[in-house]
Amino acid sequence: MKPVIQPKVTLVGAGPGDPDLITLKAVLALNKADVVLYDALIDPVLLDHAPASAIKLFVGKRVGKHSLPQEDTNQLCVSLAKKHGHVVRLKGGDPFVFGRGAEEVDYIETFGISTEVIPGITSAIAVPAAAGVPVTKRGISESFWVVTGTTSAGDLSKDLSLAAQSTATVVVLMGTKKLAQIVSVYRKFGQQDLPIAIIQSGTTRDEKITAGFMHDIEEKAFENKVEAPAIIIIGEVVRESIRLAEIYREAEKYNL
């Protein structure tokens, strides 16, 4: 007699890139997966946590290289859960931080399929931290904003203009292609000397950090051939990183 299939979809946050930064609860969910649908920023070693018998499908998206439209991924979650049982939707960072996780849950639940969300360590905080940049520090920054660099319409978020007028640390995700616009917003508010860092492939072996000020970051990013995926951190806390200290000591020496 065939076992009764109990469809379920678990959205799992895989963390910021380093496979060791996935949570124990996420690993335990992968251990019980019948199907794994994974994104582009997932380290392939994480798939080893799933049973050898599990179906593993890549459904990721990268700039200019979309694998499956979001609607198709949503439908796959439903059809594969009905056919095989437990689907783990493995997503980079945290599923609910610019990960469209809430949309996936909404869609799946309409089919009466149970869902679970396992939070991941968001790259918005972990990537700066791994580079020695605290998003908050007493006496320097008492809050932080996490802003998308590219809205669903493809534009720079209008929230950035509000953030640029505050003393908060600002972390911009998906903003490398909008660097010139980001700089323009801050210069408009007289913030051309504000420290800024771009961390490409943060927490991984391919990590590359470009740091400077609003007035020179575009030139540095061009020289260093900065590409996505990268996170942009803006604010005085960038100076607090021991790893970046020499850059800012040199700037102070020449009154830059």
35-47: b (≥16 Cβ within 10 Å) or e: bbbbbebbbeebb
| Angstrom distance (rounded) from CA 59 to CA 100 | 13
How many CB atoms are closer than 10 A to CB 86?
20
Task: Please provide the DSSP assignment of 14-62 as one string.
Answer: -BSS-GGGS-HHHHHHHHT-SEEEE-TTS-GGGGGGS-TTSEEEE--EE
Contact of 9 with 101, CB cutoff 8 Å = no
Strand extents, DSSP E, 53-157: 55-58, 61-62, 65-66, 86-91, 114-118, 144-148
Looking at residue 127, the DSSP 8-state letter turns out to be H
How far, in Å, CA of 158 to CA of 140, rounded? 25
- Residue 178 is given by DSSP the state G
> What contacts 154, CB < 8 A, 6 or more positions away?
none
Phi/psi at 228 (5° precision): -75, 150
Q: Which residues are catalytic?
A: 39, 61, 174
